[in-house]
Amino acid sequence: MSLEKYHYPRGLVQKAKIKYPQKCYNGVIEEPRVLGLVMVPGRHIVSIHLDDTTNCNRETM
């Protein structure tokens, strides 16, 4: 398959993501926080990997 014909997704919405702090300012450690919905534009998506979901039901996905 050629890259010219590959269609990247327009975006990806992720639910209940955790944002971990990148840096520590003035010795203060920032706690991780839960974000609601996160939209990632398709141009920033390089690859998508799925975990094994054979033991998951629809409610946990």
Residue 22 clears pLDDT 80, i.e. is over it: no
In this prediction, residues 42-58 reach a mean pLDDT of: 72
Domain ranges of the chain: 3-60
**Two structure tokens written together for 5:** 């014909």
Residue 46 clears pLDDT 70, i.e. is over it: yes
Q: Residue 22: which region, alpha, beta or left (left: phi > 0; alpha: psi -120 to 50)?
A: alpha
Percent above pLDDT 90 for the chain: 0
Residue 20 clears pLDDT 70, i.e. is over it: yes
Alpha-carbon gap, residue 36 to 61, rounded angstroms: 16
Claim: this prediction has a pTM higher than 0.85:
no
pLDDT-derived band at 37 (thresholds 50, 70, 90) equals confident
**Two structure tokens written together for 23:** 């840096």
14, 38 contact by CB (below 8 A): yes
State the pLDDT at residue 4: 43
